[in-house]
Amino acid sequence: MQAGGSTAGTDIIALIFNKYLGWSTSIALVVLDLFVVGPSIFVIGLENVVLTVVHLYVQTKVLDFILEGFNPKKQVLIISERHQEIADAIDKKIGRGMTFLEGEGYYSKSQKKVILIVVNRQQLMPLNRIVTAIDPKAFFTISEAQSVIGEGFSYLISDEQYQQKINDFIDEQSQQQ
């Protein structure tokens, strides 16, 4: 899967969940597997189902490590004419710092601001939504960050605060349209 391959099983559905819902591939796989394991309680018994669920949990953690490493972070470069508006929304809604880089368009030769930001896996889909809501024409790339060292990255807001910021942003975008 890391190289884009598939075993033609539930991993195809998991990759679709990853692409469109932002779920990690391993979590999507375990959810799909639980749909298979759940009803089997009547066939293999409760004890075997519990052992299977434990196995699925361990498998998920191992698969996460193989696919994304020990501390998965994503480096995102965003190029947009609306860079300041995007940066303000990212700061307000996700609470991540970022850096503006200077860029130049190859064909247009025009100066561009490039936003460099490092996020964790859970922040990637909301970041994508923020950028595309503000500028559907924005160009951005997502890369694996092998190591992130520096001030501020270890601080994360709570899941509840984070989800509330995303919900507030989506509400604001809906009201503006």
> Do the domain assignments include residue 2?
no
> Do the domain assignments include residue 4?
no
In this predicted model, what pLDDT tens digit does every residue of 120-130 receive, in sequence order? 877 888 999 99
- 105 plus 156 within the same structural domain: yes
pTM of the predicted model over 0.75: no
First and final C-alpha spacing in the chain: 38
Q: What is the pLDDT of residue 145?
A: 81
Return the higher-pLDDT residue of 79 and 9. 79
> Do the domain assignments include residue 149?
yes
Secondary structure of residue 1 in the 3-state scheme: coil
> Which of these, 144, 145, 140, lies nearest to 129 by C-alpha position?
140
* Count of domains for the chain: 2
**Which residues neighbour 7 within 8 Å (Cβ) at sequence distance 6 or greater?**
none
- 127 plus 53 within the same structural domain: no
Question: Could you please report the per-residue DSSP string of 32-79?
Answer: HHHHHHGGGHHHH-HHHHHHHHHHHHHHHHHHHHHHH-SS-EEEEEEE
What confidence category does residue 154 fall into, taking pLDDT thresholds of 50, 70 and 90?
Answer: low
Q: The dihedral of CA 17, 21, 24, 28: what is its sign?
A: negative
Asked if the model's pLDDT at residue 81 lies above 90, the reply is yes
- 112 plus 128 within the same structural domain: yes
Q: Domain residues for 96? A: 73-176
